[in-house]
C-alpha cells in the first residue's frame, strides 16, 4: 500500500509518503508559508521514492483542529490531487497524529490554540487502534475536561504554552514530550491502517475539523488571562 500524506495544521509543514512500510518525509517550519512550500515538498517526497500521485492508493491529510488557513490548504491540495488521480482520501485528526507520535498507550495531546485556549484530545491505544477518551475539543483554564487514571503521557505545544494544562493534568500525567507538532509521518501511518480497514472516502466528502468559531478575546477575557499569567496571543 502507498499513501501520500500532508499535515499543515500548525506552523509546521510536512509531507510524507508511506510506501509498503517505508517512510519518506519532508518537513519544515513554515510559519505562514505553507502554500508556498507545500507543492515543492510534495514533488520532492514523491521523486525520492520514484512515485507519481497516480501510483499511490490514497491521499491523506491532517484535518485539524488547528490553523484555519493551514487545514484548508491541506484539505484543498489533497482533494485536488485526489480528484485528478481518481484516488480516495483519508482525513486524520491532527491531535490523533500527535498522539501516534508519543509512542505511549495513553496519551493526552494538546496544541496551543492561541487566545489562552488549547486544542485537546485524549486517546488510549487498544491493540493497533486508538480509542477516544476525550474527543478533540477547545478548552481554556476553566473548561479542560477531567480525565481518570494515571500514567498518561502528555504531548504537544499546548503543554508548553499554557501552564494550566500541566496544572490540571499534573496528577494524571507521568511525563510530557514538549515541543512536538503534528507530522505527516504519523498521518500517513494512521491513514494506511484506515485505508486497510476500508475507511477511505471520496474526495468531495473530505472536510477539515473545525472546532473554533471565535477569533478574538473580549477585554474581560484578556484581563482574566493576564491575571493567571496565561499566554493569550
The pLDDT value recorded for residue 227 is: 52
**Same domain assignment for residues 167 and 187:** no
**Same domain assignment for residues 74 and 173:** no
The per-residue pLDDT for range 51-71, each reduced to its tens digit, is 999 999 999 999 999 999 999
The pLDDT value recorded for residue 231 is: 37
Residue 148: domain span:
95-177
The per-residue pLDDT for range 163-185, each reduced to its tens digit, is 999 999 999 999 999 889 999 99
Domain count, the chain: 2
The pLDDT confidence band at residue 213, using thresholds 50, 70 and 90, is low
Evaluate if residue 217 carries a pLDDT over 70: no
The answer to whether residue 126 is domain-embedded is yes
**Same domain assignment for residues 133 and 168:** yes
The pLDDT confidence band at residue 212, using thresholds 50, 70 and 90, is confident
The answer to whether residue 139 is domain-embedded is yes
DSSP labels, 154-173: EESHHHHH-HHHHHHHTTTE
pTM value is 0.90
**Same domain assignment for residues 40 and 7:** yes
The answer to whether residue 224 is domain-embedded is no
The answer to whether residue 104 is domain-embedded is yes
Q: Is 147 helix (H, G, I), strand (E, B) or coil?
A: coil
- Name beta bridge partners: 24: 17
Measured CA to CA in angstroms, residue 188 lies from 93, 140, 182, 195, 233 at distances of 12, 30, 11, 10, 31
The answer to whether residue 73 is domain-embedded is yes
Kindly state the average pLDDT of the residues 30-44. Answer: 95
The pLDDT confidence band at residue 225, using thresholds 50, 70 and 90, is very low
The answer to whether residue 212 is domain-embedded is no
Cis bond leading into 65, ω under 30°?
yes
Amino acid at each position: 500500500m502507498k499513501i501520500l500524506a500532508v499535515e499543515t495544521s500548525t506552523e509546521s509543514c510536512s509531507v510524507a509518503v508511506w510506501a509498503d512500510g517505508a517512510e519518506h518525509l519532508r518537513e519544515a517550519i513554515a510559519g505562514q508559508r505553507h502554500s508556498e512550500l507545500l507543492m515543492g515538498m510534495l514533488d520532492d517526497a514523491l521523486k525520492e521514492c520514484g512515485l507519481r500521485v497516480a501510483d499511490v492508493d490514497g491521499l491523506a491529510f491532517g484535518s485539524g483542529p488547528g490553523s484555519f488557513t493551514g487545514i484548508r490548504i491541506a484539505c484543498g491540495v489533497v482533494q485536488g490531487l485526489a480528484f485528478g488521480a481518481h484516488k480516495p482520501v483519508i482525513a486524520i485528526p491532527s491531535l490523533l497524529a500527535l498522539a501516534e507520535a508519543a509512542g505511549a498507550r495513553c496519551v493526552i495531546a494538546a496544541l496551543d490554540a492561541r487566545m489562552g485556549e488549547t486544542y485537546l484530545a485524549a486517546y488510549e491505544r487498544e491493540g493497533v487502534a486508538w480509542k477516544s477518551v476525550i474527543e478533540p475539543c477547545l478548552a481554556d483554564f476553566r473548561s479542560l475536561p477531567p480525565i481518570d487514571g494515571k500514567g498518561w503521557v502528555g504531548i504537544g505545544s499546548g503543554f508548553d504554552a499554557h501552564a494550566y494544562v500541566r496544572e490540571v493534568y499534573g496528577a494524571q500525567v507521568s511525563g510530557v514530550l514538549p515541543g512536538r507538532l503534528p507530522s505527516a509521518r504519523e498521518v500517513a501511518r494512521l491513514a494506511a491502517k484506515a485505508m486497510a480497514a476500508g475507511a477511505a472516502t471520496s474526495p468531495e466528502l473530505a472536510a477539515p475539523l473545525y472546532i473554533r468559531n471565535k477569533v478574538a478575546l473580549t477585554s474581560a477575557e484578556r484581563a482574566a488571562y493576564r491575571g493567571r499569567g496565561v499566554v493569550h496571543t
